[in-house]
Structure 1
Amino acid sequence: MSSEVALDAIARDTGAGKFQVAVQVAGVALMLDEPVSVGGMGSGPTPYQMLASALAACTTMTLRVYALQKGWPVTGIRTLAGHQRQAGVQPADLFTRRIEIEGALDDTQRARLLEIADRCPVHRTLTGGARVETELADAAAPTEPAAAHAADLEHAIRDA
């Protein structure tokens, strides 16, 4: 596995239901699950909804940065995204986006923003493909809480 890649997202099964997973990423904790209709608890977004969220967020960020660089009068951007699997079609996964842009833009500017949307890094990853490297590792030993570690350090150097 590529050692220089940071493993930023941590998912841990909760033991509650067969799909519910607690995720930590960038200091934020959230629950992912599947709908009740497929055996989940419906306690959070599905993994595909999170992937669609990443596409929507990245698209909005990309358009905002571009509009700011151009000095265009964009007052708001909202991107809606969804995912579906289509049997008998290749590729079977389809992500759909709807981009709403507020501001006094002409048709040329709006068309350019639509082109720029396809340059968002998540869009490029989804359309260009990605590699996934996986390794199996032993469960890590529980780490000592930071406060306990600091107390141990203080104790260790007190008599030095």
Structure 2
Amino acid sequence: MNEQKIVHVHLPKNESFKTTLSAGKHELLSDEPESVKGGQDSGPDPYDYLLMGLGSCTLMTVKMYANRKGWQLEDLYLELRHNKRHDKDCANCEDPESKIDVIEKELILKGNLSQEQTEKLLEISKKCPVHRTLEGDIKIESSVST
């Protein structure tokens, strides 16, 4: 049975955008950049956290696989970028305002790896649970309480 994850996010009355995010005993801050009116850049913005979640899951998955195989993976990094752009596959391409979200992942591997191992690790990087969630059908159920 999957354990349900609960994260708490709080935006106090006296803050424009600075939020406190809590996951168990861990506490983080999020904010908008100063380029957004009211933003103080006191923490990563929400899309930064989205990319960091995807990135950490990806690298953990790749490292677990390489370790299981006994491959000589010395270090690994991931560079992620998010943007919105027009795409030939978008549903409303005739609308000039219609854009899709694109996340680019660049996997950087250090170690004594063959081309075949490198290609396999790239394939495995696309199988981390967060990657699968983001590419799958997501249903968000919203409610309100007072």
> Which category of TM-score, normalised to the shorter sequence, fits these structures?
0.7 to 0.9
- CA-atom RMSD in angstroms: 1.7
Please show how residues 51-130 of structure 1 align to structure 2 within 5 Å: 51-86=50-85, 88-89=86-87, 90=90, 92-130=100-138
CA contact (8 A) 1:17 1:41 kept: no
Q: CA deviation at 1:6?
A: 3.0
- The residue identity in structure 2 corresponding to 1:11 is V
Q: SS of the residue aligned with 1:57?
A: helix
Question: Residue type of the partner of 1:112?
Answer: K
Aligned partner letter, 2:121:
L
Q: How do residues 38-49 of structure 1 correspond to structure 2 at under 5 angstroms?
A: 38-39=36-37, 40-49=39-48
Rounded to whole Å, the distance in 2 between the matches of 1:12 and 1:54 is 19
Counterparts of 2:33 and 2:7, CA distance in 1:
22
Structure richer in strand, relative to its length: 2
Tell me by how many angstroms 1:77 deviates: 1.3
Alpha-carbon distance between aligned partners in 2 of 1:63 and 1:25, rounded to the nearest angstrom: 24
Number of residue pairs aligned between Structure 1 and Structure 2: 134
Higher relative contact order (CA 8 A, sep 6+): 2
CA distances 1:123-148 after superposition (whole Å, capped 9, x unpaired): 1111113111111123xxxxxxxxxx
Unaligned 5+ residue runs, structure 2? 91-98
Deviation of 1:55 after TM superposition, in Å, equals 0.8
Structure 1 runs of 4+ aligned residues shifted over 6 Å read: none
Match of 1:29 in 2: 27
The TM-score with structure 1 as length reference comes to 0.77
Query: Which residue identity does 1:103 align to in structure 2?
Result: G
Tell me the SS of whatever aligns to 1:78: strand
Which has more helix, going by share of residues?
1
- Is contact 1:63–1:113 with CA below 8 Å preserved after alignment? yes
110-119 or 77-86: bigger deviation: 77-86
Aligned to 2:139: 131
Please say which of residues 46-55 and 124-133 is displaced more in the overlay: 124-133
The structure with the larger Rg is 1
Please tell me whether the aligned partners of residues 20 and 43 of structure 1 are also in contact (alpha carbons under 8 angstroms).
yes
Structure 1 unaligned runs (5+)? 139-160
State the TM-score, normalizing by the size of structure 2: 0.84
Looking at structure 1, the residues matched to 137 and 108 of structure 2 have their Cα atoms a distance apart, in angstroms, of 27
Percent identity, aligned pairs only, is: 31
